[in-house]
């Protein structure tokens, strides 16, 4: 293998690939990046056995081949080279020589056949979506994913391809976030998969660097997201996700409309004096106003009145303020619509500007 390439072309995809490589590894080959030279392309692959990230760049190819080298060292070397310089790689006697200007180094290698790549022969359905829109979809919902829950299927995000388009759902059992990206034509068969948490976080990272369309393919064991330069493949969580349709309340009769930023700020002020562990906050809803109140075991108290558009029966309801703040933080638009029923029923939070996204927050008894 012998190639040369511009530093700037190489660096960005290499940083993305090296990002998934974990620092501490039990298997030495997992701290390496797989470099494959084929046609006029150099492809670099890194994996942590959960997520695989591949970056493809064009390079001047003199000789093809494949090898793995330590990811972090390679990235550090490339990063420290002067801007705009050219780098050349050549493999001789199981060492990868890197030459750039007057700099020369030799990296240790491991054979490419030791590298556990993903085997994705089967693909069940594929859709193409705009990258930025898909990223927004993830950004609006990812916060609701569970972390290290024993219900392992909640430690991830449901992605559903259907006739409507792409729907994503995340929940930790206390709150739920779902959003849908409508497309002209979806797929004929409904296909649901659960992407592990790490896969979602890496996908968000990848999409923030990418423009243009992303092709999402689902198989029985993997999901692959292919953008112009980067391809991410993640394992799936083998489990059954709760039926989100049954979680979204449909019988709400108390509709409150509030200014999102005003409500959010009032909540975060009041939250300071809520119980640090349970973060409970009381909402007393009456005509045209909500009274927020919180207190903690040290007998400190906070209260605030927020003016809203509401007319109907009075209601007292408690929430974990963290969950409300998360939802209000990612909701869009100036106003927010909150639909309630009674003190034991969940709240439905929507943005009037964006009806594709819905948040559900369970109340708490105070």
Partner 1 sequence: MAASALLPWHVEHWQRIQAQVAANRLPHALLFAGPTGLGKRLFANRLMDLRLCADNDGSVDACGVCANCLLRKAETHPDRFELMPEDGSDQIKIDQVRTMVDWAYQTAQRGKGKYVLIAPAEVLNIQSANALLKCLEEPPSGTHFVLIADTPGQLIPTIRSRCSTMFFRPPPTDAAMSWLESQTEYQPEHEVLLKIAGGAPLAVEAMINAGYLETRACVLNLFSVLRDGGSPVSAASVVVKQMPETVIGIMVSLILDLVRLVRGDIEIRHVDVTSDLAPLSRGIPEAQWFLLLDYLIECRALLASGANPNAQLMMEGICTRTAEALA
Q: Is 148 left (phi over 0), alpha (psi -120 to 50) or beta?
A: left
DSSP symbols for 300-329 = -EEEEEEE-B--S--EEEEEEHHHHHHHHH
Whether 197 and 147 have beta carbons less than 8 Å apart is answered as yes
Among 115, 310, 319, 359, contact with partner 1 (rule: CB under 8 A): 115
173 lies in the site for partner 1, by CB under 8 A:
no
Among 61, 157, 232, 236, contact with partner 1 (rule: CB under 8 A): 236
Among 208, 220, 228, 253, contact with partner 1 (rule: CB under 8 A): 220
Stretch that binds partner 1, among 72-80, 109-117, 126-134, 321-329 (CB under 8 A): 109-117
Cα angle 188-189-191, degrees, rounded to a multiple of 5: 135
If one counts every other C-beta atom within 10 angstroms of the C-beta of residue 280, the result is: 19
CB nearer partner 1, residue 237 or residue 338: 237
Q: Which long-range contacts (CB under 8 A, 24 or more apart) does 246-249 make?
A: 247/171, 247/176, 247/346, 247/360, 248/176, 248/178, 248/348, 248/358, 248/360, 249/339, 249/341, 249/345, 249/346, 249/347, 249/348, 249/360
Among 163, 173, 239, 329, contact with partner 1 (rule: CB under 8 A): 239
29 lies in the site for partner 1, by CB under 8 A:
yes
Among 121, 185, 245, 344, contact with partner 1 (rule: CB under 8 A): 121
Stretch that binds partner 1, among 166-174, 237-245, 289-297, 303-311 (CB under 8 A): 237-245
22 lies in the site for partner 1, by CB under 8 A:
no
- Integer Cα distance of 95 and 107 in angstroms: 6
Stretch that binds partner 1, among 123-131, 137-145, 236-244, 309-317 (CB under 8 A): 236-244
243 token code pair: 């039926």
CB nearer partner 1, residue 20 or residue 283: 20
83 lies in the site for partner 1, by CB under 8 A:
no
CB nearer partner 1, residue 31 or residue 335: 31
Whether 223 and 123 have beta carbons less than 8 Å apart is answered as no
For partner 1, the binding residues in 310-329 under the rule CB under 8 A are none
Whether 302 and 265 have beta carbons less than 8 Å apart is answered as no
147 lies in the site for partner 1, by CB under 8 A:
no
Stretch that binds partner 1, among 87-95, 110-118, 264-272, 354-362 (CB under 8 A): 110-118
Largest CA distance in the chain: 80
Stretch that binds partner 1, among 2-10, 123-131, 233-241, 263-271 (CB under 8 A): 233-241
Q: Is 333 left (phi over 0), alpha (psi -120 to 50) or beta?
A: left
- Integer Cα distance of 122 and 219 in angstroms: 6
201 lies in the site for partner 1, by CB under 8 A:
no
Cα angle 246-278-310, degrees, rounded to a multiple of 5: 60
CB nearer partner 1, residue 94 or residue 220: 220
CB nearer partner 1, residue 115 or residue 134: 115
118 lies in the site for partner 1, by CB under 8 A:
yes
Helical H runs in 70-173? 71-80, 131-141
248 lies in the site for partner 1, by CB under 8 A:
no
CB nearer partner 1, residue 11 or residue 223: 223
Render the burial of 162-181: b for 16+ CB within 10 Å, e for the rest.
beebbbbbbbbebbbbbbbb
Residue 330: name the closest of 345, 316, 349, 346 by CA: 349
46 lies in the site for partner 1, by CB under 8 A:
no
Stretch that binds partner 1, among 127-135, 166-174, 214-222, 339-347 (CB under 8 A): 214-222
Output the smallest distance, CB 49 to partner 1, in A. 5
Give contact residues for partner 1 (rule: CB under 8 A).
27, 29-30, 49-50, 111, 113-119, 121-122, 152-153, 196, 220-222, 235-239
């Amino acid at each position: 293998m012998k190639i040369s390439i511009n530093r700037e072309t190489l660096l960005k995809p290499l940083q993305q690939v090296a990002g998934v490589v974990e620092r501490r590894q039990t298997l030495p080959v997992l701290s390496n990046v797989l470099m494959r030279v084929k046609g006029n392309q150099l492809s670099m692959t890194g994996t942590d056995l959960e997520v695989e990230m591949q970056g493809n760049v064009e390079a001047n190819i003199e000789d093809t081949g494949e090898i793995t080298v330590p990811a972090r060292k390679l990235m550090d070397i490339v990063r420290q080279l002067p801007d705009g310089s050219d780098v050349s790689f050549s493999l001789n006697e199981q060492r990868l020589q890197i030459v750039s200007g007057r700099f020369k180094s030799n990296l240790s290698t491991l054979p490419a056949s030791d590298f556990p790549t993903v085997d994705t022969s089967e693909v069940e359905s594929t859709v193409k979506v705009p990258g930025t829109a898909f990223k927004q979809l993830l950004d609006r919902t990812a916060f609701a994913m569970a972390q290290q829950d024993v219900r392992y299927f909640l430690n991830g995000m449901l992605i559903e391809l259907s006739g409507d388009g792409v729907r994503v759902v995340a929940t930790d059992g206390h709150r739920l976030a779902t959003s849908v990206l409508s497309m002209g034509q979806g797929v004929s068969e409904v296909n649901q998969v659960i992407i592990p948490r790490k896969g979602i976080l890496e996908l968000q990272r990848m999409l923030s660097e990418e423009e243009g369309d992303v092709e999402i393919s689902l198989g029985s064991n993997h999901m692959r997201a292919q953008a112009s330069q980067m391809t991410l493949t993640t394992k799936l969580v083998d489990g059954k996700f709760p039926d989100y349709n049954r979680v979204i309340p449909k019988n709400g009769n108390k509709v409150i409309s509030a200014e999102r930023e005003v409500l959010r700020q009032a909540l975060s002020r009041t939250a300071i004096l809520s119980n640090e562990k349970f973060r409970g906050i009381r909402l007393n809803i009456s005509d045209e106003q909500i009274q927020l109140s919180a207190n903690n075991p040290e007998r400190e108290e906070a209260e605030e009145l927020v003016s809203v558009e509401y007319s109907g029966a009075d209601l007292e309801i408690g929430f974990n303020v963290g969950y409300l703040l998360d939802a209000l933080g990612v909701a869009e638009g100036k106003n927010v619509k909150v639909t309630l029923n009674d003190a034991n029923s969940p709240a439905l939070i929507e943005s009037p500007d964006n009806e594709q996204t819905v948040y559900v927050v369970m109340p708490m008894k105070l």
